[in-house]
Amino acid sequence: MTRDLRLAIRSRAELGVQLLFYVIVVTLFPLAVGAEPALLRALGPGVLWVAALLASLLSLPRIFATDFADGSLEQIALSTQPLPALISGKIAAHWISTGLPLALASPLLGAQFGLTSDEGWLLALGLLMGTPTLSLLGAIGAALTLGLRAGGGLLALLILPLYVPILIFGAGSIDAVRAGLGAGPQLSLLAAALLAALVGAPLAAAAAVRIALD
């Protein structure tokens, strides 16, 4: 994980692309639909979550692509350390460099949509729980499409259906609070999805990497 974080820090321009994409999409949306406060407040959670999902999707190929291109991934697979554990480190580095900044920026961006401070922090909490799951699930798709032509398009087709429940639960937590129901069930489902992905995704991604290297 430390090695991947160092590489990510060195390519600061690439890191900034995802955050800039997130900021631009969220900022342009109010300009497109108008400045009606009630409409913006209703659409805000969904827009912020969709933008975060797309920004995460944009960065998925780089989890394995660079190491695959220069042969490092094969050396990683031949290491005496368990491959799922090494892949878990790569996924963690991906989330720290992409998902974490998106979650931290979300309360400020949510103010454009009239979200209250409590709703902004709930949005950030949901993204802190949901974006690791996006990285974990995305790693499976990134491993499955290694070395394929037009792999980015295939990756989106494979992963987007898996992202839909995370999107629904995350955006729905704020709607539930507004309806007076509390966000506990939605946050619990996000936590359950994260735990399931933590167990299964590294194993599935490791199997896909071995297939790609054979």
Q: Give 62-112 pLDDT, tens digit per residue.
A: 788 777 777 778 888 887 888 888 898 889 888 888 888 899 999 998 888
Q: How many domains does the chain have?
A: 1
Give the separation between CA 203 and CA 85, rounded to whole angstroms. 9
pLDDT at 203 over 90: yes
Task: Report the candidate in 63, 64, 70, 77 with the shortest Cα–Cα distance to residue 214.
Answer: 77
181 phi and psi, to 5 degrees? -95, -20
CA angle 71–77–79, rounded 5-degree value:
110
Give the separation between CA 99 and CA 85, rounded to whole angstroms. 20
More confident residue, 34 or 206: 206
- The share of the chain scoring above pLDDT 90, in percent, equals 28
pLDDT at 188: 94
Tokens 């790609």 belong to which residue?
212
Q: Which domain holds residue 88?
A: 2-213
Average pLDDT, the chain: 85
Q: Where are the beta strands (DSSP E) in the chain?
A: none
Angle between helices 37-59 and 117-144 (to 10 degrees): 30
Average pLDDT over residues 134-161: 83
Give the separation between CA 207 and CA 172, rounded to whole angstroms. 33
pLDDT at 197: 94
More confident residue, 113 or 71: 113
